[in-house]
Amino acid sequence: MEYTRLGRTGLKVSRIGLGCMSYGNAGAGMHRWTLDEDAAAPFFRQAVELGVTFWDTANVYQGGTSEQFVGRAIGRFSRREDVVLATKVSGKMHEGPGGSGLSRKAILEQVDASLRRLGTDYIDLYYLHRFDPETPVEETMATLDDLVRTGKVRYLGASSMWAWQFAKMQHAAVLNGWTTFAAMQDQYNVLKREEERDMIPMCLDQGVGLTPYSPLAKGRAARPWGEQTARSSSDSVAKTFDRDADKPVVDTIHEIARARGVPMAQVALAWVLSKPVVSCPVVGATKPNHLADAVAALDLSLTDAETTELEASYTPQDNYWW
């Protein structure tokens, strides 16, 4: 495993992160393919064995059960001080003023609920899952700063919003002497590159580390075109990646992987890891080879010619934040 600093902070994170949306009670959230606690346990153990210390979840993942699984797994397979623990806030957990959004009431209620489910008294990296247009950014950023000052949260991050929204929140923090964002978790992979227009240049300029989700494009960049899995055939979000314009890119990944004698996932992830703004891509693992292939991608350096070939057939599209 390799380790790096998260953006310009002093926080060290593993170069591969464990995405925990795959773990939780299948009947408790929007996904029916998630792994229950017994089935998820080997992946937490494997993460520890591989040196994957960055674990990423969210309060809304399967109604909070993902956080519960993660918290118990830390106690079972690792130590709290050895894990960089990330979770998120803003999605709907219940009806009422504190059940969703980024108001002071909602953030304070939801951070305490996350801490209880995770079985810890602090969160290393706390993300705003989405932008809340109904709450003044000053209210949100002042509340987040309070969380850092009281010790409930160590670092702040945001996820999937327009660059102007991220800039507005960051500016409010700077203007008032509050804690700024250290991380941005947006979707970034060889099939979804729209963040290269505005968000990524901004993060590079401000020293914000990228912790991208879906670095394998919901698995589309990890298997030949047209090949399906149980998740891709049932997950409504994954189905939106069936875009004919992506076929040339997937075919190129396949060709490079075949020539290199490595899985397609390693090629696709090596492309993400090669970008200087990326601190730690978050990989969801539901099969034994998923994390192993991700870690192996750290040893794969693409040539300039391979990178050019991978990027040549990309077709611009609308931002997609799922």
- Number of Cβ within 10 Å of residue 2's Cβ equals 11
Query: Which is catalytic among the residues 3, 23, 61, 122?
Result: 61
Nearest-angstrom CA–CA distance, 190 and 221: 8
Q: Where are the alpha helices (DSSP H) in the chain?
A: 37-50, 65-77, 104-118, 137-150, 163-176, 199-206, 230-234, 236-239, 247-260, 264-273, 288-296, 304-312
- The kind and range of the H/E element at 56 are strand 54-56
Three-state secondary structure along 119-178? CCCCEEEEEECCCCCCCCHHHHHHHHHHHHHHCCEEEEEEECCCHHHHHHHHHHHHHHCC
Known active-site residue 122: no
- Burial per residue of 120-155, b for 16 or more beta-carbon CB atoms within 10 angstroms, e otherwise: beebbbbbbbbbbeebebebbbbbbbbbeeeebbbb
27 Cβ contact list (under 8 Å, min separation 6): none
Could you list the active site residues?
61
